[in-house]
Amino acid sequence: MDLKNLLEILPDIVLYIASGYLFIFIFCFISLRKKLNDIQGGFIISLVVGFILKTVVCAVIPVRFGFYVNTVGFLVICAFLGGVAGYTVESSWFRKILTKLRISRSVHENIWHDIIDVEGNTMWIRAVSREKEQVIIGILVLAEEFQRYPLLVLQQYRVYDLEGKLIEDYIQNANHQIIIKSEYYDTIDVVYDEESSHYKNIEVGGVDDV
Protein backbone atom coordinates (compact mmCIF):
# COMPACT_ATOMS: atom_id res chain seq x y z
CA MET A 1 0.00 0.00 0.00
CA ASP A 2 1.47 3.35 -1.04
CA LEU A 3 1.32 6.58 0.94
CA LYS A 4 -1.57 7.97 -1.09
CA ASN A 5 -3.83 5.01 -0.34
CA LEU A 6 -2.83 5.10 3.31
CA LEU A 7 -3.77 8.78 3.59
CA GLU A 8 -7.12 8.04 1.99
CA ILE A 9 -8.11 5.44 4.59
CA LEU A 10 -6.46 7.21 7.55
CA PRO A 11 -9.59 9.26 8.48
CA ASP A 12 -11.65 6.04 8.63
CA ILE A 13 -9.05 4.33 10.82
CA VAL A 14 -8.92 7.30 13.20
CA LEU A 15 -12.72 7.32 13.39
CA TYR A 16 -12.82 3.58 14.11
CA ILE A 17 -10.31 3.92 16.94
CA ALA A 18 -11.97 7.03 18.43
CA SER A 19 -15.49 5.60 18.32
CA GLY A 20 -14.38 2.20 19.62
CA TYR A 21 -12.44 3.72 22.49
CA LEU A 22 -15.35 6.03 23.39
CA PHE A 23 -17.75 3.07 23.49
CA ILE A 24 -15.37 0.98 25.63
CA PHE A 25 -14.54 3.87 27.99
CA ILE A 26 -18.18 4.65 28.77
CA PHE A 27 -19.08 0.97 29.04
CA CYS A 28 -16.22 0.33 31.52
CA PHE A 29 -17.07 3.45 33.53
CA ILE A 30 -20.73 2.51 34.00
CA SER A 31 -20.21 -1.23 34.46
CA LEU A 32 -17.35 -0.74 36.96
CA ARG A 33 -14.58 -2.27 34.90
CA LYS A 34 -10.96 -1.31 34.61
CA LYS A 35 -9.99 0.85 31.68
CA LEU A 36 -7.75 -0.53 28.94
CA ASN A 37 -4.19 0.02 30.15
CA ASP A 38 -2.46 -1.99 27.46
CA ILE A 39 -1.85 0.54 24.68
CA GLN A 40 -1.32 -1.96 21.89
CA GLY A 41 -4.19 -4.20 22.96
CA GLY A 42 -6.48 -1.23 23.54
CA PHE A 43 -5.60 0.14 20.11
CA ILE A 44 -6.57 -3.10 18.37
CA ILE A 45 -9.75 -3.64 20.42
CA SER A 46 -10.87 -0.04 19.81
CA LEU A 47 -10.23 -0.44 16.09
CA VAL A 48 -12.25 -3.66 15.88
CA VAL A 49 -15.12 -2.35 18.02
CA GLY A 50 -15.20 0.90 16.06
CA PHE A 51 -15.34 -0.95 12.74
CA ILE A 52 -18.24 -3.11 13.99
CA LEU A 53 -20.11 -0.08 15.31
CA LYS A 54 -19.64 1.84 12.08
CA THR A 55 -20.87 -1.11 10.01
CA VAL A 56 -23.95 -1.66 12.17
CA VAL A 57 -24.86 2.03 12.49
CA CYS A 58 -24.49 2.63 8.75
CA ALA A 59 -26.70 -0.38 8.03
CA VAL A 60 -29.40 0.70 10.50
CA ILE A 61 -29.25 4.44 9.72
CA PRO A 62 -28.61 4.80 5.99
CA VAL A 63 -29.26 8.56 5.97
CA ARG A 64 -26.14 10.66 5.24
CA PHE A 65 -25.46 14.31 5.98
CA GLY A 66 -22.24 16.32 5.77
CA PHE A 67 -18.92 14.82 6.92
CA TYR A 68 -18.76 16.70 10.21
CA VAL A 69 -22.42 16.05 11.05
CA ASN A 70 -22.00 12.36 10.30
CA THR A 71 -18.82 12.12 12.38
CA VAL A 72 -20.21 13.92 15.43
CA GLY A 73 -23.51 12.06 15.20
CA PHE A 74 -21.73 8.71 14.96
CA LEU A 75 -19.60 9.46 18.04
CA VAL A 76 -22.70 10.48 20.00
CA ILE A 77 -24.40 7.22 19.01
CA CYS A 78 -21.32 5.23 20.09
CA ALA A 79 -21.29 6.98 23.46
CA PHE A 80 -25.01 6.26 23.88
CA LEU A 81 -24.59 2.58 22.96
CA GLY A 82 -21.70 2.27 25.42
CA GLY A 83 -23.93 3.63 28.17
CA VAL A 84 -26.78 1.30 27.24
CA ALA A 85 -24.44 -1.70 27.24
CA GLY A 86 -23.02 -0.69 30.64
CA TYR A 87 -26.42 -0.21 32.25
CA THR A 88 -27.63 -3.49 30.73
CA VAL A 89 -24.80 -5.48 32.32
CA GLU A 90 -25.45 -3.75 35.65
CA SER A 91 -29.21 -4.33 35.60
CA SER A 92 -30.98 -6.82 37.85
CA TRP A 93 -32.83 -8.44 34.93
CA PHE A 94 -29.51 -9.23 33.23
CA ARG A 95 -28.47 -11.11 36.39
CA LYS A 96 -31.80 -12.96 36.32
CA ILE A 97 -31.12 -14.01 32.73
CA LEU A 98 -27.71 -15.41 33.73
CA THR A 99 -29.34 -17.24 36.64
CA LYS A 100 -31.98 -18.80 34.37
CA LEU A 101 -29.24 -19.85 31.97
CA ARG A 102 -27.47 -21.45 34.97
CA ILE A 103 -24.40 -19.25 34.46
CA SER A 104 -23.14 -19.00 38.04
CA ARG A 105 -20.35 -16.51 37.57
CA SER A 106 -19.91 -12.84 38.28
CA VAL A 107 -19.85 -10.27 35.50
CA HIS A 108 -17.70 -8.02 37.71
CA GLU A 109 -14.04 -8.01 38.66
CA ASN A 110 -14.95 -7.42 42.31
CA ILE A 111 -17.49 -9.52 44.22
CA TRP A 112 -18.58 -6.43 46.16
CA HIS A 113 -20.10 -5.01 42.99
CA ASP A 114 -22.41 -8.04 42.91
CA ILE A 115 -23.28 -7.60 46.56
CA ILE A 116 -24.13 -3.89 46.33
CA ASP A 117 -27.77 -3.09 45.60
CA VAL A 118 -27.60 -1.14 42.32
CA GLU A 119 -31.20 0.01 42.78
CA GLY A 120 -30.20 2.17 45.74
CA ASN A 121 -32.06 0.31 48.49
CA THR A 122 -30.63 0.34 52.00
CA MET A 123 -27.94 -2.24 52.80
CA TRP A 124 -26.84 -2.91 56.36
CA ILE A 125 -23.37 -4.24 57.09
CA ARG A 126 -22.26 -6.08 60.25
CA ALA A 127 -18.45 -6.39 60.34
CA VAL A 128 -16.73 -8.39 63.10
CA SER A 129 -13.01 -8.05 63.90
CA ARG A 130 -11.57 -10.28 66.63
CA GLU A 131 -8.18 -8.60 66.26
CA LYS A 132 -9.64 -5.15 66.92
CA GLU A 133 -12.20 -6.65 69.30
CA GLN A 134 -15.04 -4.69 67.77
CA VAL A 135 -18.25 -5.06 65.80
CA ILE A 136 -19.44 -2.33 63.44
CA ILE A 137 -23.03 -2.16 62.21
CA GLY A 138 -23.96 0.49 59.64
CA ILE A 139 -25.41 1.33 56.24
CA LEU A 140 -23.09 0.64 53.31
CA VAL A 141 -22.58 3.75 51.19
CA LEU A 142 -19.58 2.96 48.98
CA ALA A 143 -17.15 0.14 48.26
CA GLU A 144 -13.70 0.74 46.80
CA GLU A 145 -13.31 -0.37 43.20
CA PHE A 146 -10.96 -3.02 41.79
CA GLN A 147 -9.63 -4.20 45.16
CA ARG A 148 -9.79 -7.73 46.56
CA TYR A 149 -10.22 -6.28 50.08
CA PRO A 150 -11.89 -2.92 49.40
CA LEU A 151 -12.37 0.01 51.73
CA LEU A 152 -16.00 0.25 52.84
CA VAL A 153 -17.76 3.50 53.68
CA LEU A 154 -20.52 3.22 56.30
CA GLN A 155 -22.91 5.79 57.71
CA GLN A 156 -25.47 5.76 60.53
CA TYR A 157 -23.34 3.16 62.29
CA ARG A 158 -22.69 1.78 65.75
CA VAL A 159 -19.51 0.27 67.17
CA TYR A 160 -19.66 -2.46 69.83
CA ASP A 161 -17.06 -4.55 71.59
CA LEU A 162 -17.21 -8.34 71.27
CA GLU A 163 -19.31 -8.54 74.45
CA GLY A 164 -22.00 -6.31 72.92
CA LYS A 165 -21.14 -3.13 74.84
CA LEU A 166 -21.89 0.03 72.83
CA ILE A 167 -18.74 2.10 72.20
CA GLU A 168 -19.83 4.61 69.53
CA ASP A 169 -23.32 5.51 68.37
CA TYR A 170 -23.92 7.51 65.18
CA ILE A 171 -27.11 5.70 64.18
CA GLN A 172 -29.07 8.96 64.13
CA ASN A 173 -26.34 11.00 62.44
CA ALA A 174 -26.44 10.57 58.66
CA ASN A 175 -23.67 13.18 58.24
CA HIS A 176 -21.10 11.03 60.05
CA GLN A 177 -19.33 8.32 58.06
CA ILE A 178 -16.58 5.82 58.77
CA ILE A 179 -14.15 4.06 56.43
CA ILE A 180 -13.14 0.51 57.32
CA LYS A 181 -10.63 -1.86 55.72
CA SER A 182 -12.46 -5.08 54.92
CA GLU A 183 -9.27 -7.17 55.19
CA TYR A 184 -9.18 -6.53 58.95
CA TYR A 185 -12.60 -8.08 59.57
CA ASP A 186 -13.16 -11.81 60.00
CA THR A 187 -16.80 -11.85 58.92
CA ILE A 188 -18.98 -9.29 57.15
CA ASP A 189 -22.73 -9.89 57.15
CA VAL A 190 -24.99 -8.17 54.64
CA VAL A 191 -28.69 -7.46 55.26
CA TYR A 192 -30.82 -6.23 52.35
CA ASP A 193 -33.99 -4.19 52.37
CA GLU A 194 -37.11 -6.24 51.58
CA GLU A 195 -37.59 -4.14 48.43
CA SER A 196 -34.15 -5.10 47.15
CA SER A 197 -33.82 -7.41 44.15
CA HIS A 198 -31.23 -9.32 46.21
CA TYR A 199 -33.76 -10.11 48.91
CA LYS A 200 -35.10 -13.62 48.94
CA ASN A 201 -37.35 -15.41 51.39
CA ILE A 202 -35.68 -18.71 52.19
CA GLU A 203 -37.53 -21.31 54.17
CA VAL A 204 -35.04 -23.11 56.36
CA GLY A 205 -35.94 -26.62 57.49
CA GLY A 206 -35.13 -28.12 60.85
CA VAL A 207 -32.15 -30.30 61.68
CA ASP A 208 -34.20 -33.43 61.03
CA ASP A 209 -34.84 -32.28 57.45
CA VAL A 210 -31.15 -32.08 56.59
**Cβ atoms of 69 and 63 closer than 8 Å:** no
Q: Which of 54-63, 92-101, 176-185, 196-205 shows the lowest mean pLDDT across its residues?
A: 196-205
Q: How far apart are the first and last CA of the chain?
A: 72
Its pTM stands at 0.64
How do residues 184-205 score in pLDDT, each as one tens digit? 888 988 887 766 666 654 333 4
| pLDDT for the residue numbered 193 | 74
Could you tell me the pLDDT band of residue 118, with boundaries at 50, 70 and 90? low
Give the number of other CB atoms < 10 A from CB of residue 44: 13
pLDDT tens digits along 136-178:
999 988 888 777 788 899 999 999 998 889 999 999 888 889 9
Q: Look at residue 85 in the predicted model and tell me its pLDDT.
A: 92
Rounded CA separation 23/83 (Å): 8
Residue 159 has a pLDDT of 93
Question: Is 209 a residue whose pLDDT tops 60?
Answer: no
